[in-house]
Amino acid sequence: MTELSERTRVLRNWEWARPVRPVRREVLSATPELEEGQPPLLFVPGFGHGAWAYAEHWLGHAASRGFPAYAVSLRGHGGSASAPEADLRAYAHDVTQVAASLPRQAVLVGHGAGALVVAHALARYPARAAVLVAPVLGGWATLGAALVHHPFGTLPAVFGGGLRLHRRQLFSRELPDADARRYTARLGRAARRAQWQLLTGADPEPAVGRPPVLVLGSPDDRVVPASALTRAARRYGSAPLLFPGMGHDLMLDARWREPIDAILDWLVKAPARADRP
């Protein structure tokens, strides 16, 4: 994982010449009964997950605390239209499209590889703030960690197959087995090209508008090791917020309430715009 590039990019001939093809996108939402002046939150699920993963607990909880909450299914996931040829750029496009459609400047929350999608989207949309939950920011170290923890689920993905995650990687033992099975049964897979770009793709460009970024995760996560969390947080000039004893899917695990409350508390404290060097 290299340092973030700091050069602002103005010219994007290829992107202009070949705009991302639009697809039908699933957006789930929960909004507070009374408008309380809080910024909207846009949750971005990781590879294999859909907006449903947030609809289970986090959307409703955020709304109950006064935050309008939205979750998008990246193309090819959840209820969005299928997109076998999708790449990271198409996923980031889905995020900026939904973010720009919200009534006010949004906070982007990305989980797993969805955090990498958010990091790319931050270069194309001036978010009010960003939260990276158990971020998988790509690079070969990601592959190493995945191979160590779950070789047989990971190997097919290296050769273009789907990435299979075991429920014991995603959830702690506190989560009832039935729930864990129900959630893993809903997992899909990301497009082949996007999976490859997770390993070999270019680093995200610098975020526009310098939003404050919070990184959080679990030291007992068996997809993202604690060292990766620290590295990700350092990239954005902070230290990660840790929730020991939880699995990778913090929004579905038994103690889902703790991380989302921490995120909302951080937002209520109105983090300042990150300082420029």
Partner 1 sequence: MSTPTEHGRPDPETTTLARSSDGRPVSDRGDTVCVIGAGASGLTAVKNLAEHGFGVDCYERETGVGGAWNWRHDRSPVYASTHLISSRPFTQFPDFPMPDDWPDYPHHSRVLSYFERYADHFDLRRHIWFGTEVVRVEPVAGDRWDVSTRSTGGYGPERTSRYAAVVIANGHNWSPKLPRYDGLEEYRGEVMHASSYKDPAQLRGKRVLVVGAGNTGCDLAVEAAQQASRCWHSTRRGYWYAPKYVFGRPADQVNDTLLALRVPLRLRQWLYHRTLRLTVGDLTRFGLPEPDHRVYETHPIANSQLVYHVGHGDITPVPDVARFHAHAVELTDGRQIDPDLVVFATGYLPRFEFLDAKILGDDAGVGRPRLWLNAFVPDHPTLAVTGLVQPDSGLFPLSHWQAVLFARLLRLRATRPDRAAAFAARVSAGAGERYSGRVEDSTRHWFEVGHVDYLRALERALRDLEGK
Q: Where on the chain is the footprint of partner 1 (CB under 8 A)? A: 6-20, 22, 93, 96-97, 100-105, 124-126, 208-209, 273, 276
Identity of the residue, 101 or 227, whose beta carbon is nearer to partner 1 in the bound complex: 101
CA separation, residue 138 to residues 65, 156, 178, 199, 214 (Å): 33, 17, 31, 5, 18
Cα 275 to Cα 267: distance, rounded to the nearest angstrom: 17
Identity of the residue, 9 or 181, whose beta carbon is nearer to partner 1 in the bound complex: 9
Identity of the residue, 181 or 273, whose beta carbon is nearer to partner 1 in the bound complex: 273
Least CB distance to partner 1 at residue 69 (A) = 17
Least CB distance to partner 1 at residue 149 (A) = 37
Looking at the chain, how many residues does it have?
Answer: 277
Please tell me the chain's helix, strand, coil percentages from 3-state DSSP, rounded to the nearest 5.
Answer: 35, 10, 50
Amino acid of residue 231: R
Which residues lie below 8 Å from residue 27, measured CB to CB, with a gap of 6+?
51, 70, 71, 72, 73, 98
Q: Which of 153, 113, 154, 108 is nearest to 136 (CA)?
A: 113
Identity of the residue, 75 or 167, whose beta carbon is nearer to partner 1 in the bound complex: 75
Name the strand (E) or helix (H) holding 61: helix 58-64
Identity of the residue, 127 or 137, whose beta carbon is nearer to partner 1 in the bound complex: 127
Least CB distance to partner 1 at residue 44 (A) = 16
Residue keyed to tokens 């190997």: 155
Tokens describing residue 202: 């270019």
Identity of the residue, 198 or 267, whose beta carbon is nearer to partner 1 in the bound complex: 267
Cα 170 to Cα 249: distance, rounded to the nearest angstrom: 5
